[in-house]
Structure 1
Amino acid sequence: MTPASTGRADACNNLALRKAARYLSATYDKALAPVDLRATQFSILQRLGAEEEMTISGLADAIAMDRTTMASNLKPLARDGLVTVEPSAADRRVRVVMITAEGRARMRAALPLWNDVQARFEKSFGVGEAAQLRASLEGVLRTGFEPWAE
């Protein structure tokens, strides 16, 4: 019998991952609070800053989030003028997200705060261990599950 087959909470991969994710998310949220961003919002702005524009579905895929949750996360960013969400010129049914100048400015203001918490985590956890953690978590995304498939 494997530890996973016993039903013990301490053997649950999902619980372990979610506990660590909540812990780190709260740490990053606290660090980014002075610029009025949450970690997820920062990640969205960071991704859009690199891509210029993306469809909501493409952005959701890039961040491993379902489309509905992504659309909900974009609402406060659009309300605050950090992104725009417009119908695509090629297909009016598709919504395109773009970072605004204000969004770029907020991301630049947040970057030193993000860099600081990133460095503190890596100092505490270990630079090599953090790199291995990211690689392992990327591996999770390649396990073949399709949680948002319709």
Structure 2
Amino acid sequence: MTPTPTNLADSCNNLALRKAARYLGATYDKALTPVGLRATQFSILQKLSAHGETTITSLAEMIAMDRTTMASNLKPLAREGLVTVEPSAADRRARIVTITPDGLSRMKQALPLWQDVQARFEESFGADAAAQLRASLEAVLHTGFTPWAE
């Protein structure tokens, strides 16, 4: 049955996902405020600390973000000296992102704040339900859509 305009919002996967993402994202942003990071910035620093230097394109793929948005997200981190963005020696068109010692320190300062909100969410939502939610959201990334230019 095709949804009618009156129940479209109740059946829209995109709206449901975005509402939950805004709600949870704002919760993580608020928790990380004392160390001056937003949740997306924390995720970027965490990925860089785990994977070392990488290209903007690879980092964008790790976080499921288009390259242009990733480049915009890196600018304030670079201004604060938390990451460096330099041309690749192998391919001058590619830009290599590296976490700095200050970036690693800031990420480590943020980690207990992130762990606290993570634990509070899992306590409220349920640890098994949270794991299932993450698995379902990961599966969304493998549905075959191509949202960004290739």
TM-score range, shorter chain: over 0.9
CA distances 1:95-150 after superposition (whole Å, capped 9, x unpaired): 00000000000000000000000000000000000000000000000000000024
1:122 partner SS: helix
Identity among equivalent pairs (%): 77
CA RMSD of aligned residues (A): 0.8
Corresponding residue for 1:19?
Answer: 19
Corresponding residue for 1:121?
Answer: 121
- In structure 2, runs of 5+ residues without a counterpart are none
Structure 2 residue 4 is the aligned partner of structure 1 residue 6: yes
Corresponding residue for 1:85?
Answer: 85
1:90 partner SS: coil
Corresponding residue for 2:149?
Answer: 149
Q: Distance in 2 between matches of 1:61 and 1:113?
A: 26
Q: Distance in 2 between matches of 1:136 and 1:120?
A: 20
Residue type matched to 1:30 in 2?
K
Structure 2 residue 21 is the aligned partner of structure 1 residue 46: no
Q: Counterparts in 2 of 1:127-146, with a 5 A limit?
A: 127-146=127-146
Q: Distance in 2 between matches of 1:6 and 1:101?
A: 54
- Tell me the matched-pair count: 148
Q: Distance in 1 between matches of 2:94 and 2:139?
A: 30
Corresponding residue for 2:65?
Answer: 65
Q: Distance in 2 between matches of 1:107 and 1:20?
A: 25
Q: TM-score, normalised by structure 1?
A: 0.97
Corresponding residue for 1:109?
Answer: 109
2:107 partner SS: helix
Structure 2 residue 56 is the aligned partner of structure 1 residue 56: yes
Q: Distance in 1 between matches of 2:72 and 2:149?
A: 19
Show structure 1 runs of 4+ deviating over 6 A.
Answer: none
Q: Distance in 2 between matches of 1:79 and 1:138?
A: 32
C-alpha deviation, 1:6, in angstroms: 3.1
- In structure 1, runs of 5+ residues without a counterpart are none
